[in-house]
Amino acid sequence: MSVFNIASLESILQRDHAAAGLDPLIRLVGLPERVPIAELGSDEGTDISPWMMDVACSMENDFVQLVHELRAVAEGVGSEESLGAPISVVYDAFLWWTLDVVVSLKLNYYTFFPSAASVLSILLHMPLLISQGYVPLRLSAEPRLITLPGLAPTWDRELLYFLRDSEPKAIVQRIIDSALKLTETQTILVNTCYELEPYAIDALQKYENVHIKKSDVRALGPVLPLELLNDNYVVDILYQQGDNRKQEEKECLKWLDSQSPASVLFVCFGSIFTPSFENIIELALGLEASSHAFIWVLRSPPGVTSRDKGFSISMLLPEGFESRTKDRSFIISPPAPQLSILSHPSTGGFLTHCGWNSTLESVSMGVPLIAYPQFADQKMNCRIIVDQWKVGIQLQNDENERLRKEDVEKVVRNLMEGEEGKRMKGKVRQLRDITRRCCREGGSSYTNLQVLVQELFKLSASFTHEADNRVNMEISFLAAE
């Protein structure tokens, strides 16, 4: 769950249904905000994981109440005001409590897994990893290589980074709980496509895997706006119906229009991570030294608040940096229009924290990456980008967790002008075409999505008495990302 997503969900909820581009059969329902964003404190860079955990926990009662209300409306007033009682729930795997709730309410369900199939494989092997002493990951112990079906042997530090014993105990426990719940589920819908992760999906789906209970794992991603399947720059995909972009975003896209093809590096670290103040300085100096054009989505680091009187983003940057780079840079506050930027012909590279959505978006638009993973599943995603797909170069901090400007300059030059970058550009374009084919009619993800829709139709038909058998479902979005 991110502050951006809440904001955009709110704006969609407030907008006219048709203007939001939603099918009339889809209705968005918001749950009350029980843990206000304001409680995060005034530092923008505050670690929001505990807050996210509180939000996730706080949703359970409201969700149960929502199901009861929808049922009451369906039984009472009739079909004029209702699309019918809920029959099936698609829920985010990280909302671990949902499984028990939907089972107790006798609802059909599908579990949606928002990260890579490789990460799903790790979580489904949780009982094995616990019994063999790999989880929680003890940082003080000697590094060990782990081999799991469908995954290349990987150091425990990268495979299980999100389960380090240095993380708050409650958070590690929640991840373990979510993983154990996952092993009880029937159908898992994964935000990936078969062709991007065939080995991981085969190991989960096709082969005899003695370590895990067989779930029905279906890859139906990347879950992206359909417009991305066309080759066109999707400047206004999310805001087609209105003029909702903030001025800064419009200027950013206009600036991008004025740049040469594939010449701009996009620097953005998702909705949670912000580098430290010291690393922002090194990043800035490295970008400057590279001589390449860039768009940088810059937010305040931990301990610095932009709400202070007199604060300006310039205070985060080296002296004179903005004037020295003004002809080839655009600094924007989050959220930036990432999809539009990545699909713009002027964008030639993406420096990312390797969040799975950013990874899929970059690949779907044929943009090679500089991988700078930080936490959660990002180290695993980095291995997929760099070792498996070979569409990115890794950027690493030194042993003291300091980023070095020389390293930044080197990776940017390698990606934007070197032979390595050229090879990656070619490779990522192949992956883009493969990914888009998966999502088009007849493609693997399209087919899996079609099967899901057919199943929902069937379920609906067996529950509804309406003569026309129209789809009778209410979709509740429970987003944990």
Ligand X SMILES: O=c1ccn([C@@H]2O[C@H](COP(=O)(O)OP(=O)(O)O[C@H]3O[C@H](CO)[C@@H](O)[C@H](O)[C@H]3O)[C@@H](O)[C@H]2O)c(=O)[nH]1
Total chain residues near ligand X (CB under 6 A): 23
Residue 377 or 407 having the CB closest to ligand X: 377
Residue 227 DSSP label: G
Q: In angstroms, what CA-CA distances link 360 with 159, 160, 263, 453?
A: 19, 21, 21, 23
Whole-angstrom distance, CA of residue 330 vs CA of residue 350: 14
Does position 274 interact with ligand X (CB under 6 A)? The reply is no
Residue 319 DSSP label: T
Does position 297 interact with ligand X (CB under 6 A)? The reply is yes
Does position 340 interact with ligand X (CB under 6 A)? The reply is no
Interface stretch with ligand X, choices 48-56, 100-108, 253-261, 349-357 (CB under 6 A): 349-357
Residue 85 or 295 having the CB closest to ligand X: 295
Does position 358 interact with ligand X (CB under 6 A)? The reply is yes
- Phi, psi at residue 99, to the nearest 5°? -55, -50
Residue 197 or 481 having the CB closest to ligand X: 481
Q: Alpha-carbon torsion 72, 479, 98, 206, what sign? A: positive
Does position 222 interact with ligand X (CB under 6 A)? The reply is no
Does position 55 interact with ligand X (CB under 6 A)? The reply is no
Whole-angstrom distance, CA of residue 33 vs CA of residue 285: 41
Interface stretch with ligand X, choices 62-70, 75-83, 140-148, 334-342 (CB under 6 A): 334-342
Does position 228 interact with ligand X (CB under 6 A)? The reply is no
Does position 221 interact with ligand X (CB under 6 A)? The reply is no
Is beta strand 154-155 parallel, antiparallel or unpaired with respect to 145-146? antiparallel
What one-letter code names the amino acid at 49?
A: S
Q: Which of 197, 282, 409, 481 binds ligand X (CB under 6 A)?
A: 481
Does position 271 interact with ligand X (CB under 6 A)? The reply is yes
Does position 335 interact with ligand X (CB under 6 A)? The reply is yes
Does position 70 interact with ligand X (CB under 6 A)? The reply is no
Does position 272 interact with ligand X (CB under 6 A)? The reply is yes
User: What 3-state class would DSSP assign to 189?
Assistant: strand
Per DSSP, the residues of 243-274 read: --S-HHHHHHHHHHHTSPTT-EEEEE-TTT--
Interface stretch with ligand X, choices 31-39, 180-188, 206-214, 376-384 (CB under 6 A): 376-384
* Min dist. Cβ of residue 335 to ligand X (A): 4
Q: Residue 362, Cβ neighbours under 10 Å: how many?
A: 26
Residue 279 or 358 having the CB closest to ligand X: 358
What is the CA angle 69-71-73, rounded to 5?
70
* Min dist. Cβ of residue 406 to ligand X (A): 27
Does position 338 interact with ligand X (CB under 6 A)? The reply is yes
Residue 334 or 345 having the CB closest to ligand X: 334
Q: What is the x/- site pattern for ligand X, positions 90-109, by CB under 6 A?
A: --------------------
Per DSSP, the residues of 434-465 read: HHHHHHSTTSHHHHHHHHHHHHHHHHHHHH--
From the centroid of its chain, how far is CA 76? 39
The answer to whether 194 touches 201, Cβ cutoff 8 Å, is: yes
- Phi, psi at residue 167, to the nearest 5°? -75, 155
Does position 334 interact with ligand X (CB under 6 A)? The reply is yes
Encoded tokens for 121: 């494989």
Does position 249 interact with ligand X (CB under 6 A)? The reply is no
Give pairs for 62-66: CB < 8 Å, separation 24+: 62/31, 62/32, 62/34, 63/31, 63/98, 63/101, 63/476, 63/478, 64/101, 64/105, 66/29, 66/31, 66/476
Whole-angstrom distance, CA of residue 340 vs CA of residue 269: 16
Interface stretch with ligand X, choices 35-43, 137-145, 329-337, 393-401 (CB under 6 A): 329-337
The residue at minimum Cβ distance from ligand X is: 355
Encoded tokens for 158: 């990268």
Does position 343 interact with ligand X (CB under 6 A)? The reply is no
Whole-angstrom distance, CA of residue 177 vs CA of residue 146: 21
Does position 189 interact with ligand X (CB under 6 A)? The reply is no
Does position 178 interact with ligand X (CB under 6 A)? The reply is no
Does position 118 interact with ligand X (CB under 6 A)? The reply is no
Residue 7 or 453 having the CB closest to ligand X: 7
Q: Which of 189, 220, 264, 336 binds ligand X (CB under 6 A)?
A: 336
* Min dist. Cβ of residue 398 to ligand X (A): 22
Whole-angstrom distance, CA of residue 344 vs CA of residue 260: 11
What one-letter code names the amino acid at 382?
A: C
Residue 297 or 411 having the CB closest to ligand X: 297
Residue 282 or 377 having the CB closest to ligand X: 377
Q: Which of 45, 355, 366, 443 binds ligand X (CB under 6 A)?
A: 355
Is beta strand 88-92 parallel, antiparallel or unpaired with respect to 347-352? unpaired
Does position 361 interact with ligand X (CB under 6 A)? The reply is yes
* Min dist. Cβ of residue 462 to ligand X (A): 33
Does position 114 interact with ligand X (CB under 6 A)? The reply is yes
Q: Which residues bind ligand X (CB under 6 A)?
A: 2, 4, 114-115, 268, 270-272, 297, 334-336, 338-339, 355-358, 361, 376-378, 481
